[in-house]
Amino acid sequence: MAFEIDVNVPKVTLVGVVSVVLLAVILLATHGYYLKLEHDEFAAKHYNAVHPLAVQADKAAAGHLHKYKQVDGSPGTVQLPIDEAIKIMAATKGRPPTTQPLGGS
């Protein structure tokens, strides 16, 4: 009795191709997930960090916004603190106050 090995070549080829495609999909998905985790970790470390120069600039800007100051090149013109300017604009309903006399003569 002789044994005959009957190999179904199309089926073996299909299984091989499907295996390679499935392996490629798994590898790409794993790599993509790794990149996402790496990006999230980078964002958590760096995007939420306070930059010391930005803090210093914010403090300097806040200092300029909350004090009176003589405007350069314009005698008699002063800069108001921001809080007082907001109160004046609210009191005049959005119209800047004038320094001109109200009378016509």
42's enclosing H/E stretch is helix 9-46
- Enumerate residues 6+ apart whose C-beta is below 8 A from 21: none
Q: Are the CB atoms for 67 and 83 separated by under 8 Å? A: no
The answer on pLDDT for 100 being more than 80 is: no
Task: Specify whether 43 is located in the same domain as 74.
Answer: no
**pTM metric for this prediction:** 0.43
Quick one: 44 and 66 in the same domain? no
Domain region containing 71:
52-91
On whether both 83 and 56 belong to a single domain, the answer is yes
**Is 44 inside a domain boundary?**
yes
Handedness of CA 69, 97, 101, 73 (dihedral sign): positive
- Does one domain contain both 57 and 85? yes
41 in the same domain as 18: yes
User: In terms of Cα–Cα distance, which of 92, 72, 75, 76 is closest to 84?
Assistant: 92
pLDDT tens sequence across 47-96: 877 888 988 888 888 877 888 887 777 777 778 888 888 888 888 888 77
- Asked whether residue 4 is assigned to any structural domain, the reply reads no
